[in-house]
Amino acid sequence: MRILVADDDPIILDLLQSPMWLGSEHDLTCVTSAAEALSAIYDSRPFDAFLIDVVMPETDGISLCATIRAMSRHSATPIIMITASTEGGVMHRAFAAGATDFVRKPLDGLDLGARINMATMLNASLLRERKARSTLTQLRQRTVMGQDETPFLGVPSGAMSYSSLKADLLSLSPGCHALSLFSLRVASIDLSGDDQAEDDLLQRLAVIGTVATREMQHSSTRLAYVGRGLFAGVTFGRQRERADLLQHRTQKALEAVWREKDWPDHAPKLLVRSLSTLGVWTGATAMQAIADAVKAQSDPRFARPDDLSDRLIGA
C-alpha cells in the first residue's frame, strides 16, 4: 500500500518508517510540508492513503487535506489526520475538509495500525466499487447500442434517430394516413459486443444505416435504428419500398463498402420484410406497430442475429 506521510516532525517520520511500525508493511513517501506533499502527488502515480499532520508550517494539514480531496484521482482516497489537539473544532474542520479518520499524538502503534488496516480495507472496497461502476457503464453502453438512436447522430445521409421517427409519426394530423412499414434486420453481425469492439460495432451500424438510406426507392421513406440489429422504415404516401429490391441493392452496396474499408469480417446479411400489409395507419397505430416489432425482437423465442430462418420480425 502506497502511503504519503506529511509531518514536519522528524521523530514522527523516523518512527513511522521503522520496521516496528509502517516501514516493513507499506511503501511510504515522507515529506515535511504541504508543498512537498503536493509535489510528490503530482510527480507519481496515485497514493492509496495519506497520513497528514494537522499542524505544519505555511500551509496546514487541513488545507492540504481539502486540496487533495479536490483532486479527481484522490476524491475518495483515505486521509488520516495526525493531531496533538484535543479541541473538537479542529477535527470538525478536518472532517469538513474531507478527512476520513484521525489519530492522536503521541502515536500508538496498535491504534495507528488498526486505522491503516481500516483504510486499506476501505481502499479495496472503493476499487471494487469503481470496477463495478465501470462494468455498469459498459453494460449501459451496450444497452445504448441495443436500443437507441445514438449510432446515427451526426450522420447526414444515414438513418434518422428513433426519437425523430416517433416524433414524425406522432405529429401527424388526426385521422388515417397512407403509410407502409417495413423492417431491415442485420442478421449476421455480432451484437454481443466486448470491451474493445463497441466503437467498431457502432461504426458498422452507422454504415448500414447510411447505405440502406441511399438505396431507398422513394424520397419519402424514413429509416431509423430501433435496437438489437433492427431498423424500422416508414414510407409516407401510397408508394411502397419493394422489400426484395431494397434488400438486394443494399446488400450489394454494403459488400462494396466492406471491401473498400478493408474490414476483416464479411459484410453482414440483411433481411428486409414488410411489417404489415396494411397501407393506412394513424400516427399512433403506426408507432405502436414499430414498438411491437422492437419488443418482439427482444423475445428469446425469435431468431438470433445470425439465424436466417423465417421467424423474423414481420416475416
User: pLDDT (tens digit, 9 = 90+) per residue, 71-95?
Assistant: 988 888 889 998 887 777 888 888 8
Residue 304 in domain:
no
Do 292 and 152 share a structural domain? yes
More confident residue, 56 or 130: 56
Stretch among 169-178, 192-201, 270-279 having the lowest mean pLDDT = 192-201
Q: Are residues 151 and 268 in the same domain?
A: yes
What does the alpha-carbon distance between residue 207 and residue 213 come to, in Å, rounded to a whole number? 10
Taking alpha carbons only, the member of 257, 292, 295, 255 closest to residue 275 is 292
Same domain, 15 and 93: yes
- Rounded to an integer, the average pLDDT of 253-261 is 90
Position 267 in a domain: yes
Indicate whether 35 and 174 sit together in one domain. no
Say which CATH number the domain at 274 has: 3.30.70
Q: Nine-digit cell at 281?
A: 395507419
Which domain-ending residue is among 113, 142, 171? 142
Residue span of the structural domain in which 51 resides: 2-142
Alpha carbons 111 and 88: distance in angstroms, whole number: 19
Q: Are residues 59 and 158 in the same domain?
A: no
CB under 8 A, 24+ apart: contacts of 159-162: 159/206, 159/209, 159/210, 159/212, 159/213, 159/223, 159/224, 159/225, 159/231, 160/222, 160/223, 160/224, 161/224, 162/224, 162/225, 162/226, 162/227, 162/232
**Residues 158 and 283 reside in one and the same domain:** yes
What CATH number has the domain bearing residue 35?
Answer: 3.40.50.2300
Residue 26 shares a structural domain with residue 136: yes
pLDDT value, residue 134? 57
Mean pLDDT, range 38-65, rounded to an integer: 90
pTM: 0.48
- One domain for residues 58 and 128: yes
Number of domains in the chain: 2
Lowest mean pLDDT of 43-52, 72-81, 138-147, 179-188, name the range: 138-147
Q: Are residues 138 and 103 in the same domain?
A: yes
